[in-house]
Amino acid sequence: MNIAQLLNGLALGSLLMILSSGLAMIYGLRGVMNFAHGALYMSGAYLAYTVTNHVSFWAALIVCPLALAVIGAVLELVFFRHLQTRSHIEVGLITFGLALIIERIIGIIWGPHTLPVPAPDVLNGTSNVFGTAYPTYRLFILAIAVVMAAALVFWLRVSDTGLHIRAASQDGETSAILGINVDRVSLTVVCLGAALAGLAGTLAAPYFSVQPGMGMAILINVLIVVVVGGVGSLGGAMAAGMALGIVQTVGAVWLPNLAALLPYIALVAVLAWRPTGFAGKRV
Amino acid sequence: MTVEAPLLLSDDPLAPTPSRRLKLGISPRGVAIGAVVAVVAAVAGLAVPSIVNDLYWMGILVNGLLLAFMSLSVGFMAKHLGLISLGQTAFFGGSAYLVCIATSSWEWSPYQAVAFAILGTTAMALAMGVLVVRATGIGFMMLTLAMGQAIYQVVIQEWARDTTGSFDGVAANIGDQTFLGMGVSDLLDPTVFWNLGWIVLVAVTYLLWVAGRSRFGVILEGTRENTERMRFSGYNTFLPRLAAFVFSGFVAAVGGALYGLNSGYVSPELLNFLKAGDGIIAAIVGGLGVLLGPFVGAFLYVYAQAEFNNSGNLYLYTGIASVLVLVFLPGGIVGTISTLSRRLWSSRTGRKPQA
């Protein structure tokens, strides 16, 4: 196996890691599997296309997560908050309906074509990694993902809000009794999760090009990552995301016939062995 | 459904425990009445082609009929197990694929092909069921999603092209053979095919109704409400769940075999995630709590698709409809109607509605 393939796996794993950490946090707090996460990622990528064309990629890197955070706020205030007494599966199916709506609206605005997004000039070349020339932009994705993951974990461990989020994820009712405003915590988490999806979309735009099927395609992988990692566990989701990215990319080289099946095999194997996933404690 | 309390308390502490089996579920009389209703519905449905008398709308009705098999199979599990399967396409599409592959590549007769497709797919449901029915809630959704997607991925692989035709799909080849007296042109003609499809659909719905109201159905609902307590009460909770999963797979497989005969062609779209979404949304829009909900939902869904498809925003409207129904009519359309009519009935007679 050469280094370039491993790095490709790490780059894909980085995107899955960013996406699945947002999904896992929302799931942990609201108990809802957000089927619209792929559509949020896709919105981020399409917004990045427009912002990059009109301003610059660096602006997109800031604007898109913020715009997606606003969509996340709508999602929380209009749906999750009002429907928290409903069964979580029902709310999950509502997000599936929302995904269909968002993806079609994107189709109406940007059209059905594949759109290229250029990476900024600084990141366009290749870098030398242990003697292998490798596209700088993919290293950039990896760097952002590592920084993001570290910052997120640090923030959850150290800040008061992080403490509240961890408490509310573990037991919403008890933390509400202890004076934590669970609705406000949830707003923060859903906005953050959506913003992370926007960030992943923006980062993915120059890597893969932007196209209408991208949301559904990545959604299934991200769902698998979150379940394999252990539902509601952030660390598990991050590790599983990175692992799946590597397994899929390396598998495509070693077992080209089976590569597409690897995520499903991994899921069935992990759930047969540990029904709550790697790091999960709850079902 | 009647649940009689067991005779556990006896005056004499030394008296032998009563061995009478707890009586659960529908009486034979109820089964017979249901059968009469089903036969009437089946016969009445045969008049549909002459009433509609329009090839385009008959085509849409047949699409609704075929989708009803999938939404019924989703609805049965949702109602009795409280589980949503995202992978029923594996059975519906799998069975349709087997019909087309068996009649074309292996040159089997349509009878052999249909029997093989239904049995083979049901066996597949059994194998998958063993893996997935222990899971609950989101785990079950993900496992069924994974297995549906795994089948899709296998079918579109280049190395499977000789069998599945990859993205090109497979055409059935019945030649000049007939299925129940219908040749290829009859099977493709929705006005003729309707009769076969409708009778099978009513029969399957009747079977689901009996299963749901039988002792088996009552045990399933007990397991759904509290698995631990059922296990504690001495019931095996794994086998009934597995049986329900396999039965639901069987229903989807029957629908898929009919689809293969009717369309004479299958493509991977039949197996993908959006197709699973069709079945689920149809079931939800109709109502998951009522047996007839998914049945009605499938026809409504296909009708709405036909009305909205012209503008190309099919999935936009599908999404809006499913969100609106889920937010405002959590029981689905049929569920809401039955709740309303029960309320109306009770306000007229002054009696409290029965839950």
Angle between helices B238-263 and B110-132 (to 10 degrees): 150
pLDDT of residue B4: 47
Tell me which of A8 and A67 has the higher pLDDT.
A67
Contact A100 B315 (CB under 8 A): yes
- Tokens 């062609």 locate to B265
For all residues of chain B together, what is the average pLDDT?
87
Minimal Cβ distance to A96: which of B159, B277, B313:
B277
- pLDDT for position A260: 80
The token pair that represents B41 in the structure block: 């519905």
B190 falls in which pLDDT band (50, 70, 90)?
very high
**Which of B131, B315, B326 shows the shortest C-beta gap to A104?**
B315
* pLDDT of B129 higher than 90: yes
Name the more confident of A123 and A72: A72
User: Mutating which of A79, A96, A283 best tests the B interface, going by the most B Cβ atoms within 10 A?
Assistant: A96
Residue with tokens 């093989």: B116
As a whole number, mean pLDDT of residues A44-49 equals: 96
- Domain range annotation of chain A: 17-215
Neighbours of A144 (CB within 10 A): 18
User: What is the rounded average pLDDT of the residues B262-273?
Assistant: 91
Q: Which residues does residue A134 pair with via DSSP β-bridges, in sequence order?
A: A127
* Residues in A lying within 8 Å of B, measured between beta carbons: 27, 33, 79, 83, 86, 88-90, 92-94, 96-101, 103-105, 108, 216, 220, 223-224, 227, 231, 257, 260-261, 263-265, 267-268, 271-272, 275, 283
- pLDDT for res A61: 94
Pairing of strands B265-266, B170-171: antiparallel
What pLDDT score was predicted for residue B100? 95
Residue A188 neighbours by CB under 8 Å, 6+ apart? A161, A165
Percent of chain A with pLDDT over 90: 49
pTM recorded for the entire structure: 0.87
Nearest CA of chain B to the CA of A47: how many Å?
Answer: 19
Helix axes A234-254, A136-158, angle to 10 degrees: 160
pLDDT given for residue B201 in this prediction: 96
Nearest Cα of chain A lies from the Cα of B330 at a distance, in angstroms, of: 8
Phi–psi pair at B93, nearest 5 degrees: -65, -40
Residues A90, B289 contacting (CB under 8 angstroms): no
Residue B76 has pLDDT above 50, yes or no: yes
Burial (CB < 10 A; 0-12, 13-18, 19+), residue A85, is exposed
Would an 8 Å CB–CB cutoff place B277 in contact with chain A?
A: yes
pLDDT of residue B99 exceeding 90:
yes
Give chain A positions within 8 Å (CB) of B284: 93
**A104-141 pLDDT, tens digit each:** 999 999 988 899 998 888 888 888 888 788 889 999 99
Give pLDDT, residue A235: 86
How large is the average pLDDT for residues B210-232?
Answer: 90
d(CA B280, CA B258): 19
Task: Look at residues B121, B70, B117 and name the one whose alpha carbon lies nearest to residue B98.
Answer: B117
Rounded distance, CA B190 to CA B56, Å? 9
Specify the amino acid at residue B178.
T
Q: Which residues contact A26 (CB under 8 A, 6 or more apart)?
A: A32, A34, A37, A189, A190, A193
B243-264: average pLDDT: 96
Percent share of chain B, pLDDT over 90:
48
Q: What local confidence, expressed as pLDDT, does residue B310 receive?
A: 65
Span A140-163, pLDDT tens digits: 999 999 999 999 999 999 999 999
Interface test with A, best of B74, B323, B324, B329 (most A CBs within 10 A): B323
Average pLDDT rounded to a whole number, residues B42-71: 93
Q: Of B87, B153, B94, B155, which is closest to residue A261 (Cα–Cα)?
A: B153
Is the pLDDT reported for residue B73 higher than 60?
A: yes
Residue B52 contacts A, CB cutoff 8 Å: no
CA–CA dist A189, A208 (Å, integer): 27
CA distance B225 to B229: 9
Structure tokens that stand for B131 in this block: 């893996």
Contact B159 A86 (CB under 8 A): no
Distance between terminal CA atoms of chain B? 12
CATH number of B28-285: 1.10.3470
Mean pLDDT of chain A: 89
Token pair in block for residue A90: 């029902």
Nearest to B138 among A216, A231, A267 (CB): A231
Inform me whether the pLDDT recorded for A283 exceeds 50: no
Q: Do A94 and B157 touch (CB under 8 A)?
A: no
A155-199 confidence digits (pLDDT tens)? 999 999 999 998 888 888 898 999 889 899 999 999 999 999 999
Judge whether B333 and B293 are in contact, CB under 8 Å.
yes
Residue B4 DSSP code:
P
Cβ contact A29:A186 at 8 Å: yes
Q: How far is B130 from chain A (nearest CA, A)?
A: 10
Phi-psi region of B25 (alpha: psi -120 to 50; beta: other; left: phi over 0): left
pLDDT of B111 over the 90 cut: yes
How close, in Å, is residue B316 to chain A by CA atoms?
5
Give the mean model confidence (pLDDT) for residues B190-197: 94
Q: Which of A9, A23, A10 is nearest to A225 (CA)?
A: A23
Model pLDDT for residues A208-229, shown as the tens digit of each residue: 889 988 998 899 889 888 888 8
User: Residues of A with CB below 8 A from B134's CB?
Assistant: 275
Q: How far apart are CA B196 and CA B201, in angstroms?
A: 9
| pLDDT at A202 (0 to 100) | 95
What is the rounded distance in angstroms from the CA atom of residue A45 to the CA atom of residue A204? 7
Which residues have a Cβ under 8 Å from the Cβ of A176 and sit 6 or more positions away?
A168, A182
pLDDT at position B9 over 80: no
Q: Do A267 and B135 touch (CB under 8 A)?
A: no
The angle, 0 to 180 degrees and rounded to 10, between the axes of the packed helices B55-81 and B273-286 is 80
Residue of B nearest to A273 (CA): B131
Which ipTM value was assigned to this complex?
Answer: 0.84
Give me the pLDDT at residue B352, please.
Answer: 55
Q: Which of B98, B75, B145 is nearest to B253 (CA)?
A: B98
Work out the average pLDDT over B312-319: 82
Q: Identify whether the C-beta of residue A231 lies closer than 8 Å to the C-beta of residue A26.
A: no
* Residue B280, token pair as written in the block: 């689920």
Q: What is the CA angle A67-A214-A201, rounded to 5?
A: 30
What's at A54, amino acid-wise?
H
User: In a 10 Å sphere around its CB, with 0-12 CB exposed, 13-18 middle and 19+ buried, how is residue B352 labelled?
Assistant: exposed
Smallest CA-to-CA distance from A177 within A168, A189, A187 is with A168
Query: Domains of chain B: which residue ranges?
Result: 28-285
Q: Helix crossing, B292-308 with B332-349: angle to 10°?
A: 120
pLDDT score of A280 more than 80: no
B164–chain A Cβ distance below 8 A for any pair: no
**Model pLDDT, residue A249:** 87
Residue of A79, A93, A260 with shortest CB distance to B157: A260
